[in-house]
A and B are shown apart, each in its own frame.
Chain A
Amino acid sequence: MRLKVLIQAEEIDLRKEYCSLQDSDGSVGAIATFYGTVRDSNENRKVQSIFIEHYSGMTEAELKKIINEAKERWKISAATIIHRIGKLEVGEGIVFVGTASSHRKDAFQSCDFIMDYLKTNAPLWKKERHDRGEDWVTSKESDKIFARSWKKRGD
């Protein structure tokens, strides 16, 4: 399986990343992608921009672990996670997740799983600049529930 994890300040080249999930031998029948972007509002505040920081080294290791866990559960031939850091304006991309498989269920579910685990396990933090100042974003209970829903019975 091809695995790619990147933490970068630069914009994500969607076309390039999409193409890199393809296989030259034609075995890929499904590519699922998720692209998260900066929203203009959060908890009734008008968001102007966000700032993302991370724990260098640990973030990459955690994201690789998440992909490897996805690989144990679904048949995927390639997986990519790219997360941006630094200052991002409204509308800019934050994160790209892509998975490739022979079949759609494996691609869809592994992509969804990776995002849910990224949200709760990867050491990344968002600070929002909004109309009333700036605040660190607080974690959401719903994200923990989504991540827990993937636990296998007996885990």
Chain B
Amino acid sequence: MIKLVFFASLREELGCESLEVEFTEPLRLSEMIQQVEDKKGRHWGEVLAGKSVKIAINKEIVVNDELLSDGCEVAFLPPVTGG
């Protein structure tokens, strides 16, 4: 399984804090997002693939279409506003 977590405005837009996705090897980030969109609807796909959304795998920001591993945590982060 892969755990997806959503923060701040993204969490509120989706009405969801976290989601578990079935893992089937090999699975790229973009394929996983497509799976979520197929299951949850187009709105989800649009929100998760949003231009300003950053993605972290196991708490490290990624910029490429990474291969996912079983048990990883994928976080979707809106633009940060701390400080």
- Which A residues lie at the B interface, using CB under 8 A? 36, 52-55, 57-58, 61, 83, 94-95, 115, 118-127, 136-139
Whether A138 lies near B79 (C-beta < 8 A) is yes
Alpha-carbon distance between A119 and B59 when the two chains are bound, in angstroms: 18
Q: Is the CB of B83 within 8 A of A119?
A: yes
**A123-B7, A125-B7, A125-B8 are known contacts. Are A58 and B80 too (CB-CB below 8 A)?**
no
> How many B residues have CB within 8 A of the partner chain?
17
- A54 CA to B75 CA in the complex, in Å? 12
Known: A53-B8, A136-B9. A125 touches B80 (CB 8 A): yes
Chain A residues, Cβ within 8 Å of B8: 53, 125, 127, 136
B75 surroundings in chain A (CB, below 8 A):
55, 58, 123
A138 and B81: CB pair below 8 A? Answer: yes
Chain A residue contacts of B77, Cβ below 8 A: 55, 123
Whether the pair A58, B59 counts as a contact (CB closer than 8 A) is yes
10 residue pairs bridging A and B, Cβ less than 8 Å apart: A36-B83, A53-B7, A55-B5, A55-B59, A95-B82, A120-B80, A122-B82, A122-B83, A123-B75, A136-B78
Contact with B82, one of A61, A119, A136 (Cβ below 8 angstroms)? A119
Any A CB within 8 A of the CB of B14: no
A139 to B79, CA, bound (A): 6
- Return the 3 tightest CB-CB contacts between A and B, nearest first: A124-B82, A125-B8, A139-B79
